């Protein structure tokens, strides 16, 4: 018997149905695939991955590690809406228990497993642009290509754990307070100002292709601590 007689869509499960999904409780791998299709697919791509020992869920901009208890609760809820066929050929409600849920979660890890050699940021599907993943920054309003400063649409094909919580604005005004602070530090040294901002730019991505490192030195109260705080922000 196949684990699922049909494939539900995400919206139908959210709102409930009179026609539940028929599963085979003894086929956890098939159940896990149905669970993934129902809750963790967008545009034909998985929004849930198992990577280096953890589950990561795409929230629309970034893959964040999923709380194990939250994922377990979703499996319980999913199974509770399913039915199985008994020895008489009749449908009966599935009564999820710890053993069944554990088996489905174990199978789910195999269903959504990513190669541990993959290091985020990374493209998981054929690259939609010639840009390397390490030259892409996930912003609130899209994926920013640092070379062209153009936005690509968000996609679960871009596997990253980091994203900016604000939108990229190519027409943004100059940061007057920041520039004022820099000119207070170096009133007659534009090269130093440009260098610091270039260093900050390198910190935006994990790329090491420029093979550069920075070192800050000087007297106390010279602005190093404040500059570092700004870079972390």
Print pLDDT tens along the chain (233 aa): 444 444 444 344 444 455 899 999 999 999 999 999 999 999 999 999 999 999 999 999 999 999 999 999 999 999 999 999 999 999 999 999 999 999 999 999 999 999 999 999 999 987 756 788 988 999 999 999 988 899 999 999 999 999 999 999 999 898 899 888 888 888 898 888 888 878 877 777 666 665 566 656 556 655 556 565 555 54
pLDDT at position 200 is: 79
- Residue 46 pairs in a beta bridge with 41
Using alpha carbons only, what angle is made at residue 63 by residues 46 and 67, rounded to the nearest 5 degrees? Answer: 95
Tokens, residue 39: 């809750």
Burial 210-231 (b: 16+ CB within 10 A, else e): eeeeeeeeeeeeebeeebeeee
pLDDT at position 18 is: 57
pTM above 0.85, yes or no: no
**Cis before 75 (ω within 30):** no
**Distance, CA of 55 to CA of 67 (rounded, Å):** 8
């Amino acid at each position: 018997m196949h684990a699922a007689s049909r494939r539900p869509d995400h919206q139908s499960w959210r709102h409930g149905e009179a026609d539940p999904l028929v599963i085979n409780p003894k086929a956890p791998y098939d159940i896990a695939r149905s669970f993934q299709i129902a809750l963790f697919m967008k545009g034909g791509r998985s929004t849930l991955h198992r990577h280096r020992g953890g589950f990561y869920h795409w929230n629309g901009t970034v893959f964040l590690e999923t709380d194990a208890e939250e994922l377990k609760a979703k499996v319980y809820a999913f199974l509770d809406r399913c039915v199985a066929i008994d020895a008489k050929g009749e449908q009966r409600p599935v009564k999820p228990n710890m053993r069944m849920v554990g088996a489905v979660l174990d199978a789910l890890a195999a269903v959504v497993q990513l190669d541990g050699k993959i290091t985020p940021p990374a493209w998981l599907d054929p690259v939609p642009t010639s840009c390397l993943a390490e030259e892409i920054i996930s912003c609130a309003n899209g994926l920013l290509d640092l070379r062209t400063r153009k936005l690509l649409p968000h996609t679960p094909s871009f596997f990253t754990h980091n994203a900016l919580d604000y939108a990229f604005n190519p027409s943004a005004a100059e940061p007057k307070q920041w520039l004022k602070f820099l000119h207070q530090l170096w009133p007659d040294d534009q090269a130093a100002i440009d260098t610091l901002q270039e260093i900050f730019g390198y910190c935006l991505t994990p790329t090491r292709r420029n093979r550069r490192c920075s070192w800050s030195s000087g007297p106390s109260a010279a602005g190093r601590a404040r500059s570092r705080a700004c870079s972390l922000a």
